[in-house]
Amino acid sequence: MPPANPVVIVTGASRGLGAAVARWLAKAGAVVTLVARSEENLQQVAADVRRLGGSAHVVAADVADVHNCRLAVKTTLEQFGRIDALVNNAGVVQPLAPIADTDPDEWRRNIEVNLLAPYYLVRAAIAALRQHKGRIVNVSSGAANLALETVSAYCTGKAALNHFTRVLAAEEPTVTALAVRPGVVDTDMQATLRNEADNAMPADQMAYYRQLKAHGELEAPEIPARAIAWLALYAPREFSGRFLDHDDPRISRPAREVLGTSL
Ligand SMILES: NC(=O)c1ccc[n+]([C@@H]2O[C@H](COP(=O)([O-])OP(=O)(O)OC[C@H]3O[C@@H](n4cnc5c(N)ncnc54)[C@H](OP(=O)(O)O)[C@@H]3O)[C@@H](O)[C@H]2O)c1
């Protein structure tokens, strides 16, 4: 069981999935450190968190910089004295181009956000997480297991994030570390795939992303976010090292029971 007011760091909390994770955590009375670059959006999410019964600490910063990740952990510990969970959710999908045409700086930037930032945050928070048998939820993607043309950095970064999670779980017996696939979610990232991949992505792949939106097949962020919030608070030790689906009934059912059906 988590403590009454668990302390959770959520990256990419300014919009989309991460903002919804923060709101569900607030409903469970959590203290949430909200990390992303857009300060104005973060302050709006912080207001939601307080309205829903939680506490919020805003860190407006780029997680690709190791110093910012250390600062997020340091200020959380200074203000709240503990860390119970870390949700590595910040992500970018670009560059969207065949490998042969990608900009190396953009490719490196993707790996910095999707892979190195989770490592920086784990590295900075692991001692605190060990103290309270904490949890690490790495938000991955089905792309980790797919060879999606024109999405090379993202697929590679998420595959590496899954393997990082496995090694982390092997090394840290007191911490529960897992990766989760949130499905296809109606956020800005999907809009980027629909709108910015033209000319690069194969036509059938492009049509697939557009049809998901047109046919109402994208998941509302609140649904996978509830599963992620539940995992951050309750994931059992046997999940450590696993790459799990958000709609796995072992997750989605207790998430609905514990956190409810609406925010
Ligand atoms: N949407 C989907 O269908 C889908 C599917 C599979 C997996 N996922 C994963 O789910 C996670 C959340 O994605 P989303 O769909 O919610 O996307 P989103 O709406 O684009 O949100 C991405 C979040 O990451 C933050 N972020 C990006 N770069 C950052 C940086 N350098 N430093 C700090 N924060 C940064 C953004 O905030 P700022 O711009 O304010 O920094 C934003 O809060 C990602 O890891 C993504 O790969 C999404």
| pLDDT tier, 197 (very low <50, low <70, confident <90, very high otherwise) | confident
Q: Residue 198 falls within a domain, yes or no?
A: no
Give the mean pLDDT of the chain. 97
Could you tell me the pLDDT band of residue 151, with boundaries at 50, 70 and 90?
very high
Q: Please, what's the largest Cα pairwise distance for the chain?
A: 52
In terms of Cβ atoms closer than 10 Å to its own Cβ (0-12, 13-18, 19+), residue 235 is buried
Least confident of 90-99, 196-205, 220-229: 196-205
Phi and psi, residue 261, nearest 5°: -105, -15
pLDDT tens-digit series, residues 12-21: 999 999 999 9
pTM for this entry = 0.98
- Kindly state whether residue 200 falls inside one of the protein's structural domains: no
* Residue 168 pLDDT class (50, 70, 90 cuts): very high
Average pLDDT over residues 145-152: 97
| Cα dihedral: 65, 21, 85, 35 (round 10) | 20
pLDDT score of 196: 86
Q: Is 107 left (phi over 0), alpha (psi -120 to 50) or beta?
A: alpha
Tokens encoding 108: 């490196």
Tell me what pLDDT residue 199 has: 76
Q: Rounded to a whole number, what is the distance in angstroms from the first to the last CA of the chain?
A: 22
216 falls within a domain: no
User: Can you give the pLDDT at residue 3?
Assistant: 85
Query: For residue 45, what are the domain limits?
Result: 7-183+222-259
**Active-site residue 154, yes or no?**
yes
- Give the residues surrounding ligand 1 with Cβ less than 6 Å away: 11-18, 36-38, 41, 62-64, 89-92, 113, 139, 141, 182, 184-185, 187-190
Give the number of domains in the chain: 1
Instruction: Give a yes or no: residue 199 inside a domain.
Output: no
Span 48-55, mean pLDDT? 98
Residue-level pLDDT at 154: 98
Query: Are 141 and 158 a contacting pair, CB within 8 Å?
Result: yes
Report the C-alpha gap between 6 and 23 in whole angstroms. 14
Instruction: Determine which helix (DSSP H) or strand (DSSP E) holds 31, and give its type and residue range.
Output: strand 31-36
Per-residue confidence (pLDDT) for residue 176, from 0 to 100: 98
Residue 214 lies in a domain: no
Among 32, 34, 89, 193, the mutation site with the greatest number of ligand 1 atoms within 8 A of its Cβ is 89
Mention every residue, 6+ apart, whose C-beta is less than 8 A from residue 99: 152
Q: What is the pLDDT of residue 50?
A: 98
Reduced to 3 states (helix: H, G, I; strand: E, B; else coil), residue 23 is helix
The protein residue with its alpha carbon nearest to ligand 1, atom 25, reads 12
140 is catalytic: yes
Asked if the structure places residue 23 within a domain, the reply is yes
Average pLDDT (200-227) is 95
213 belongs to the catalytic site:
no
Candidates 14, 27, 120, 140; catalytic one: 140
CATH number at residue 82: 3.40.50.720
pLDDT in the model for residue 147: 97
Cα of 91 vs centre of ligand 1, distance in Å, is 4
Using alpha carbons, select from 232, 118, 250 the residue that is nearest to residue 175: 232
Query: Is residue 190, in this structure, part of any structural domain at all?
Result: no
* Mean pLDDT confidence for 232-241: 98
| Residue 211 within a domain | no
Does 221 score more than 80 pLDDT? yes
Characterize the bridge pairing of strands 85-88 and 31-36.
unpaired
Residue nearest to atom 36 of ligand 1 (CA): 12
Q: How does residue 2 score in pLDDT terms, banded at 50, 70 and 90?
A: confident
User: Mean pLDDT, to the nearest integer, of 89-93?
Assistant: 98
